[in-house]
C-alpha cells in the first residue's frame, strides 16, 4: 500500500461502487439504477448508456484499456473475454468507446463451457447479462462487469443466476412471516454470508518439481514426514516473514477490489493459513470469494509461492475447508437468527429456527450433495472436518429451550428464575450462548449457522442456493398455515412445538467424530452419504427436483444438467489423478528406485569382494526389489482398470470410486514405502519435509 494512500482511500478504489456512481451519474440515472437494484425494475437504454459512459471514463482514468463480462460458469471458477475500448474514427485514429448495449449484454460461446447437455457443440450461442446488484471493478487493466450467463434458449449456465433467484425467493417468504409479527417496515430480507477460506502456501520452485501438484493440485505420493502437526504449534502461531509479506500484499489487493478481508492467521497444518472476510449479502460474498481465490494464487506467484486450494494437498495433516456462515438480515438492520430480548422477538426467532431445523432435516441429502466432489471426499469424516452425516448443533442452552418446548416443561435459565415455556412468556435467550463444535456440519453460533462441510476450492454459490431455497420452502409452508389462523399465538405455539418434535432427530450436540454417533445417526434415520459417488445421485431425487422447480430456482432441465456436470466431473478428476499417478510411477519413481537398487547391488558386490559386511546394501536392495515389483504390478492394474471405465456417467462414477481409487491407494502404499527406503539424492521429487517446512 502506498505510504500516501490510507486504508479508507485504498478500500474499493478499484470498484465502481455506489459512491462513485452517485458522483458520476445524473440524479435521474442514479435513481433509476437504485430503483433497479431495490425493486427489480429494468433500465432503459438511455440510462444504460449514461452508466456505461461514466463507467468507461472512470475505468480509463484508472488505467483500464479493456472491459470484460466477468461470469461464473459451471466450472466452479470465473470466466472472462476481454475487448478493448478502442473504436476507429478514420485517419488511423481511435476513440475510447463503451455503450449501454455492451454493458448490458455479451455473447460468449456457450457450448465451450459445461452445460450438462443444455448446449450442443453446434449450438454455440450464449449470453452474459449485467448484474446491476454487483459492482464493476478493475482487475489487471480491464473493467470487469459481473454478469449472469445463460444459453440461447434461456437456461441458466452459471452459478450466479440461481443464487439471485434463491435470494429473491427467501426474501419473499421471509417477509410474509415478518408481516404476521406486525413488521410493516421491512421491504427485503437478504441472505448474509461470511465464508472463511483456508489454504496452503508452498515454495514455487518445489511445486514445479512435482507433476502431481501441477496436474491435480494435490500430492498423489508422499510418506509421512518426521514432523507434521503433532506439536500443535502452528495454529494461531507467529506468522513467518515470507508469509506475512504475502498476506499484507493479499489484503491490500483485496481491499482495493472492495473485498472485506478481515482476519488472517496460521491454521492447524504446517504451511496452512486462513483468511476470513466480514459478512456481506450472499451475491457479493460469492463474487468476492471467487475474487479472493483468484488473487490468492496470483499474489502468491509474485512472492515465489504457490497457493494450494485443494481440500487435501498433503496426506497425514489437516486439509482445507471453507466455513460458510449464513444468516438472514432485514433491510432495517435486524438479524432474524439473533435471539431477542422480548417474548415476541423470541417467538419470531424460534419460528425461523424451526424453519431452518425442519428444512435441514428434510433436505439433508441435497445439502450433502452440494459439497460432494472428489477433493472433499478426502476431508469429510476425518479428524479435521465434520462427518458426512448432516446434523445441527444448537448448544446446551438453546437445545434445552427446544427440549422444554417439545416436552411442555419449564425451562430454567442458568442461575436465574424459572419460567414456564410458552411462546408468549419465553425468556430472553442470550446471544453467544453456545460453545463451538468443530465436529458439527451445521453449527448455530449465536446469530448464524456455520455450514462447515464446504471444500476450500469450491464455489460457495451451490450450498447457499440450497440454504436459501430450503428456508424459503419452510417459511412458505409456515406462512400458508399461519395466515389462515384464527388464534395466531396459540397456533404459532403449536406449530413451533410440532416442528421441533418432528425434526428433533437432526439436532446433535455431541462429538461428530465418535463412532457411536454414526450408529446413533443410523438409528435416527439420518443419511450417511460417505462419498461423492453416494451423494450426487441425491441431486435428482424427486423431492429435491420438485423443491427447486416449485420455487423457480432451477428448471427441471437445469437441475438435471447440474447433476450431470458434477457426476462427469468426478470421473474426469479421478481419471486425471490416476493417469498422473501412472505417469509419475513409470517416468519418475520406478527409474529412480531401480537406479538406487542397482547402485546398492554394485556396492554390495564391491564390499563382498573386500570381505566387508554388506548387510545394509543387500537387505535394502531386496526390500526395494519387492516393493518395486509391487508398485509395477499396482501400476499395471491401474492402467488396465482405467481402460475399463464404463461409458455411462453414473456407472463410471461408481466404478471410479470403487475400483480406480482402490487401485491408486495400492500403488501409493508401495510408492510411499519406497520413498522411506530410497536415498534422498535418488528420490525424483521434493518430499513432504521439503514442501511443508520450506516457506
Place 151 in a pLDDT band, splitting at 50, 70 and 90: confident
In a domain, 650, yes or no: yes
Identify the helix (H) or strand (E) that includes residue 423: none
Distance (Å, whole) CA 387 – CA 418: 36
Whether residue 541 sits in one domain with residue 446: yes
Q: What is the pTM of this model?
A: 0.93
| CA torsion, ordered 171, 174, 176, 178, to nearest 10 deg | -120
| Total domains in the fold of the chain | 3
Residues in Cβ contact with 644 at an 8 Å cutoff, skipping those fewer than 6 apart: 655, 659
C-beta of residue 425 within 8 angstroms of C-beta of residue 277? no
Mean pLDDT of the chain, nearest integer? 91
Q: Which three cell numbers stand for residue 409?
A: 416443561
- ∠ CA 159-160-165, nearest 5°, is 110
In a domain, 564, yes or no: no
Whether residue 420 sits in one domain with residue 460: yes
Place 655 in a pLDDT band, splitting at 50, 70 and 90: very high
Q: How many Cα atoms are found within 13 Å in the side-chain-facing hemisphere of 29?
A: 21
Strand partners, 323: 196
CATH of the domain at 388: 3.30.590.10
Among candidate residues 158, 184, 207, the one where a domain is terminated: 158
> How long is the chain?
695
Of residues 126 and 211, the one with the higher pLDDT is 211
Among candidate residues 138, 158, 178, the one where a domain is terminated: 158
Q: Please report which residue ranges of 133-276 form alpha helices under DSSP H.
A: 160-180, 204-207, 211-216, 241-256
Among candidate residues 158, 176, 194, the one where a domain is terminated: 158
pLDDT at residue 420 tops 80: no
Q: Tell me: the pLDDT tens digits for 539-583? A: 999 999 999 999 999 999 999 999 999 999 999 999 999 999 999
Query: What is the predicted pLDDT for the residue at 429?
Result: 56
Whether residue 56 sits in one domain with residue 170: no
pLDDT at residue 87 tops 70: yes
In a domain, 560, yes or no: no
Whether residue 596 sits in one domain with residue 549: no
Residue whose C-alpha is closest to residue 616's, from 600, 605, 602:
600
Query: What is the predicted pLDDT for the residue at 94?
Result: 64
CATH of the domain at 671: 1.20.120.1560
Whether residue 445 sits in one domain with residue 338: yes
> What residue numbers bound the domain in which 142 lies?
7-158
Whether residue 86 sits in one domain with residue 44: yes
Whether residue 177 sits in one domain with residue 139: no
Distance (Å, whole) CA 35 – CA 574: 48
% the chain with pLDDT above 70: 91
% the chain with pLDDT above 90: 74
Q: What is the mean pLDDT of residues 112-137?
A: 74
Q: Which three cell numbers stand for residue 559?
A: 437441475
Distance (Å, whole) CA 29 – CA 37: 12
Q: Tell me: the pLDDT tens digits for 459-503? A: 999 999 999 999 999 999 999 999 999 999 999 999 999 999 999
In a domain, 562, yes or no: no
597: left (phi over 0), alpha (psi -120 to 50) or beta: alpha
In a domain, 294, yes or no: yes
In a domain, 273, yes or no: yes
Q: Tell me: the pLDDT tens digits for 506-542? A: 999 988 888 899 999 999 999 999 999 999 999 999 9
Whether residue 391 sits in one domain with residue 286: yes
In a domain, 67, yes or no: yes
Whether residue 457 sits in one domain with residue 501: yes
Whether residue 186 sits in one domain with residue 129: no
Query: What is the predicted pLDDT for the residue at 117?
Result: 67
Q: How far is CA 420 from CA 280, 323, 324, 349, 408, in A?
A: 38, 36, 35, 18, 8
In a domain, 229, yes or no: yes
Whether residue 170 sits in one domain with residue 152: no
Angle of the 556-584 helix axis to the 615-642 helix axis, nearest 10: 150
Q: What is the mean pLDDT of residues 594-613?
A: 92
CATH of the domain at 145: 3.10.20.70
Query: What is the predicted pLDDT for the residue at 37?
Result: 87
Whether residue 349 sits in one domain with residue 228: yes
C-beta of residue 229 within 8 angstroms of C-beta of residue 245? no
Amino acid at each position: 500500500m502506498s505510504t500516501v494512500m490510507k486504508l479508507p482511500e485504498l478500500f474499493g478504489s478499484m470498484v465502481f461502487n455506489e459512491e462513485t456512481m452517485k458522483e458520476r451519474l445524473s440524479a435521474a440515472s442514479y435513481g433509476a439504477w437504485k430503483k433497479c437494484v431495490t425493486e427489480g425494475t429494468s433500465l432503459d437504454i438511455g440510462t444504460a448508456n449514461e452508466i456505461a459512459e461514466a463507467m468507461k471514463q472512470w475505468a480509463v482514468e484508472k488505467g483500464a484499456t479493456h472491459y470484460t463480462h466477468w461470469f461464473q460458469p459451471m466450472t466452479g471458477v470465473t470466466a472472462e473475454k476481454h475487448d478493448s475500448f478502442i473504436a476507429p474514427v478514420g485517419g488511423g485514429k481511435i476513440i475510447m468507446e463503451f455503450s449501454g448495449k455492451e454493458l448490458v449484454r455479451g455473447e460468449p460461446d456457450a457450448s465451450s463451457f459445461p452445460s450438462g447437455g443444455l448446449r450442443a457443440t453446434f449450438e454455440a450461442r450464449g449470453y452474459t447479462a449485467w448484474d446491476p446488484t454487483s459492482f464493476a471493478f478493475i482487475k489487471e487493466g480491464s473493467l470487469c462487469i459481473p454478469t449472469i450467463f445463460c444459453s440461447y434458449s434461456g437456461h441458466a449456465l452459471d452459478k450466479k443466476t440461481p443464487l439471485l433467484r434463491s435470494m429473491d425467493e427467501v426474501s419473499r417468504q421471509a417477509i410474509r412471516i415478518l408481516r404476521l409479527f406486525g413488521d410493516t417496515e421491512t421491504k427485503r430480507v437478504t441472505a448474509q454470508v461470511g465464508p472463511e477460506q483456508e489454504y496452503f502456501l508452498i515454495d514455487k520452485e518445489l511445486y514445479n518439481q512435482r507433476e502431481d501438484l501441477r496436474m491435480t493440485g494435490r500430492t498423489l505420493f508422499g510418506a509421512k514426514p518426521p514432523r507434521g502437526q503433532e506439536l500443535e504449534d502452528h495454529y494461531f502461531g507467529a506468522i513467518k516473514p515470507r508469509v506475512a509479506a504475502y498476506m499484507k500484499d493479499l489484503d491490500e489487493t483485496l481491499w482495493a477490489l472492495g473485498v472485506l478481508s478481515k482476519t488472517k492467521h496460521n491454521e492447524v497444518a504446517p504451511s496452512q493459513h486462513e483468511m476470513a472476510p466480514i459478512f456481506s449479502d450472499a451475491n457479493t460474498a460469492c463474487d468476492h470469494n471467487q475474487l479472493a481465490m483468484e488473487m490468492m494464487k496470483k499474489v502468491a506467484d509474485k512472492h515465489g509461492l504457490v497457493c494450494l486450494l485443494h481440500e487435501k494437498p498433503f496426506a497425514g495433516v489437516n486439509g482445507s475447508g471453507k466455513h460458510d456462515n449464513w444468516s438472514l438480515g432485514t433491510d432495517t438492520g435486524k438479524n432474524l437468527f439473533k435471539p431477542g430480548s422480548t417474548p415476541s422477538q423470541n417467538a419470531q426467532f424460534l419460528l425461523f429456527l424451526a424453519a431452518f431445523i425442519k428444512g435441514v432435516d428434510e433436505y439433508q441429502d441435497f445439502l450433502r450433495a452440494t459439497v460432494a466432489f472428489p477433493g472433499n471426499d478426502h476431508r469429510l469424516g476425518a479428524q479435521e472436518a465434520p462427518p458426512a452425516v448432516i446434523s445441527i448443533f444448537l448448544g446446551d442452552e438453546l437445545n434445552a429451550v427446544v427440549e422444554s418446548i417439545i416436552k411442555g416443561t419449564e425451562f430454567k435459565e442458568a442461575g436465574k428464575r424459572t419460567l414456564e415455556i410458552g411462546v408468549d412468556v419465553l425468556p430472553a435467550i442470550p446471544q453467544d450462548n453456545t460453545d463451538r463444535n468443530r465436529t458439527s456440519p451445521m453449527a448455530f453460533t449465536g446469530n448464524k449457522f456455520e455450514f462447515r462441510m464446504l471444500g476450500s476450492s469450491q464455489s460457495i454459490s451451490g450450498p447457499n442456493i440450497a440454504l436459501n431455497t430450503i428456508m424459503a420452502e419452510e417459511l412458505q409452508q409456515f406462512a400458508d398455515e399461519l395466515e389462515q389462523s384464527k388464534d395466531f399465538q396459540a397456533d404459532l405455539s403449536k406449530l413451533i412445538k410440532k416442528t421441533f418434535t418432528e425434526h428433533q432427530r437432526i439436532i446433535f450436540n455431541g462429538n461428530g467424530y465418535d463412532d457411536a454417533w454414526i450408529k446413533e445417526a443410523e438409528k435416527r434415520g439420518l443419511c450417511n452419504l460417505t462419498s461423492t459417488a453416494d451423494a450426487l445421485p441425491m441431486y435428482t431425487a424427486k423431492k429435491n427436483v420438485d423443491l427447486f422447480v416449485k420455487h423457480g430456482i432451477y428448471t427441471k432441465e437445469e437441475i438435471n444438467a447440474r447433476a450431470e456436470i458434477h457426476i462427469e466431473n468426478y470421473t474426469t478428476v479421478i481419471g486425471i489423478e490416476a493417469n498422473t499417478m501412472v505417469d509419475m510411477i513409470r517416468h519418475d519413481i520406478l527409474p529412480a528406485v531401480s537406479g538406487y537398487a542397482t547402485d546398492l547391488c554394485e556396492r554390495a558386490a564391491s564390499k563382498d569382494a573386500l570381505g566387508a559386511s554388506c548387510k545394509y546394501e543387500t537387505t535394502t536392495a531386496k526390500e526395494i526389489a519387492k516393493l518395486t515389483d509391487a508398485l509395477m504390478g499396482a501400476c499395471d492394474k491401474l492402467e488396465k482398470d482405467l481402460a475399463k471405465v464404463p461409458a455411462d456417467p453414473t456407472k463410471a462414477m461408481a466404478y471410479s470410486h470403487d475400483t480406480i481409487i482402490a487401485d491408486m491407494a495400492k500403488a501409493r502404499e508401495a510408492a510411499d514405502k519406497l520413498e522411506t527406503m530410497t536415498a534422498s539424492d535418488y528420490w525424483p521429487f521434493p518430499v513432504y519435509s521439503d514442501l511443508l517446512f520450506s516457506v
